Amino acid sequence: MPLFSRKTSNAPTVTEPEAEVEAAAGPRAYTPSKGKATPKRTAQRRRVAAVQQPRTPEERREAKRLAREQARSDRQEAMAGMRSGDERHLMPRDKGPVRRMVRDIVDSRRNIGSYFFGATLIIFFLMMWRDPRVALAGNIAWLALGLAVIVDSFILSRKIKKLVSQNFPKNTERMGSLYFYGIMRAISFRRMRMPNCQVKIGDPVVAQK
């Protein structure tokens, strides 16, 4: 009987430390499921969102003012980039080295079309003149101007075709589209062209690849 009593009295001394070790190791062995944020991260995100979101009317007005200033700054940067010919800010119709070459071809020469609108305004007043001779002169000048613009546009188109074919033999854009692009730029005032002129009149045209 004493032997049985000693075994039962020693049993708790063996199991209690193991239970304590398992209880202590339990929390350290816990790992949250993959892809789920821990409670600390969630609380931190909530605090950041609460700080960033304006609460008072004054803070909301200040946030709107800062947003307007940022939008204005972005527009100014985009406009400056468009004027300078920066590809990042150009419209789709102006992008690419082929379009850049067409612009340089137009800007490197004197185009009769550049004087079209100014001369048309003068001719319009001449045609409204009461003197029949002045009105007749206005009509003749109008026809001569139109013919000169057509001839000059034809010469410009031939030059565009020649230089584009030489520098970009693998070009896939339609030549008719490039002709129209160049002529529309040629009949606008030089200072009003967008993007701004990157070459001076008489400068050689070099492909920007």
Whether residue 22 is contained in a domain is answered as no
Q: Do 86 and 78 form a contact (C-beta atoms < 8 A)?
A: no
pTM of this prediction? Answer: 0.64
What pLDDT does residue 99 have? Answer: 94
d(CA 175, CA 177): 5
Question: H helices within the chain, ranges in order?
Answer: 2-29, 39-52, 57-84, 97-107, 116-127, 132-167, 175-186
**Same-domain check for residues 84 and 103:** no
Instruction: Kindly report which listed range (17-31, 131-145, 186-200) carries the lowest average pLDDT score.
Output: 17-31
**Same-domain check for residues 100 and 169:** yes
pLDDT digits (tens, 9 = 90+) for 69-80: 888 887 877 777
What pLDDT does residue 31 have? Answer: 52
**Same-domain check for residues 74 and 160:** no
Q: Do 107 and 199 form a contact (C-beta atoms < 8 A)?
A: yes
Q: Do 104 and 199 form a contact (C-beta atoms < 8 A)?
A: yes
Residue 165's Cβ-count burial label (10 Å; 0-12, 13-18, 19+) is exposed
Whether residue 78 is contained in a domain is answered as yes
Greater model confidence, 13 or 108: 108
**Same-domain check for residues 78 and 165:** no
- Reported as type and span, the H/E element at residue 96 is none
Give the angle 162-185-126 at the CA atoms, nearest 5°.
120
Structure tokens belonging to residue 127: 């045609």
